[in-house]
Amino acid sequence: MIEAIFAFILGSCLGSFLNVCIFRLPKDKSIIMPRSFCTNCNTSIKWYDNIPIISFFILKAKCRNCKHPISFRYILVEVLTAVLFLLLYLKFGWSWELAKFSFLFCLLVVTSFIDIDYHAIPVYLCVVGISLGLLWSFWPSFKMLRTGVYELNSLPLANSLKGLIFGLGFTYLFKFFGDVFVDIYLNIRKKDSIEGERESLGLGDVDFMGMIGVFMGVKAVVLVFFLAPFFAVLYSIFAIFFKKSHLIPYLPYLSLATITVFFWGDKILGFIL
């Protein structure tokens, strides 16, 4: 129980760091220096006002100095990351798997929120994810290679590479035909773009699915790809009634689908088959 609480607290600290990443990475600013500051009055935030989750309530969601409201987003990211880290801890305990997949989940959170803000993500985020994911499956593969008894197909690295190629190829194929469809639609309607966009899926979505393939394999790519639209449709219905924009950043839905498949993929597969 105490260890689970510790995992939750550790996760909330991780979430606090992710807030910094989400805010600074798209602006090409360092995520290490300077220390956190209020975006309104630029006062640097004291350590006792920077405690994940708790400070938000103590400060009543306002900057101590200028009383500018602190966005609800900060505590959302902290709680979300803490819950995800706790779930991973309950699944894996303190292990390399926990480190590996909490890294992936951190990338899911960061890319999703940046996509919500900018409708695009820095290319290097998924490249870093793909590279580290491959490195992670290289090590157990290396140990298996040294024993001399193995099947090529059972090597984790082989599965990661298959996942990568399939994730990129499969998603790109959908993007290609989606773009053709959008083109035809724009021609018929004699428009230049749909609210400034001419693409069905972005290249960020393609890279993202490559990353999912590296970490979770071919099957997960297919499940995530076909599950994400269900989440997106739910939001679209909401958007049609409450907002005008039909454009939706897609990474949050791919991330939601990834988390669902990660924890309940076998059940979903069992249900379908």
Which range of residues in 52-60, 62-70, 90-98, 246-254 is near Zn ion by CB under 5 A? 62-70
Q: Toward Zn ion, which CB reaches closer, 36 or 236?
A: 36
Binding residues among 39-58 for Zn ion as defined by CB under 5 A = 40-41
**Is residue 65 a contact point for Zn ion (CB under 5 A)?**
yes
Least distance CB 68 / Zn ion (angstroms): 5
Q: Toward Zn ion, which CB reaches closer, 66 or 135?
A: 66
Least distance CB 57 / Zn ion (angstroms): 17
Binding residues among 98-137 for Zn ion as defined by CB under 5 A = none
Spatial contact of 57 and 49, defined as CB atoms under 8 Å apart: no
Least distance CB 160 / Zn ion (angstroms): 45
Least distance CB 79 / Zn ion (angstroms): 23
Residue 226 tokens read as 């076909």
**Is residue 71 a contact point for Zn ion (CB under 5 A)?**
no
Reduced 3-state DSSP string for the chain: CHHHHHHHHHHHHHHHHHHHHHHHHHHCCCCCCCCCECCCCCCECCHHHCCCCHHHHHCCCECCCCCCECCHHHHHHHHHHHHHHHHHHHHHCCCHHHHHHHHHHHHHHHHHHHHHHHCCCCHHHHHHHHHHHHHHHHHHHHHHHHHCCCCHHHCHHHHHHHHHHHHHHHHHHHHHHHHHHHHHHHHHHCCCCECCECCCCCHHHHHHHHHHHHHHHHHHHHHHHHHHHHHHHHHHHHHHHHCCCCCCCCHHHHHHHHHHHHHHHHHHHHHHC
Least distance CB 114 / Zn ion (angstroms): 23
Q: Toward Zn ion, which CB reaches closer, 75 or 82?
A: 75
**Is residue 66 a contact point for Zn ion (CB under 5 A)?**
yes
Q: How many residues bind Zn ion (CB under 5 A)?
A: 7
Which range of residues in 11-19, 66-74, 85-93, 249-257 is near Zn ion by CB under 5 A? 66-74
Site string for Zn ion, 5-44 (x = CB under 5 A): ---------------------------------x-xx---
Q: Which residues bind Zn ion (CB under 5 A)?
A: 38, 40-41, 63, 65-66, 68
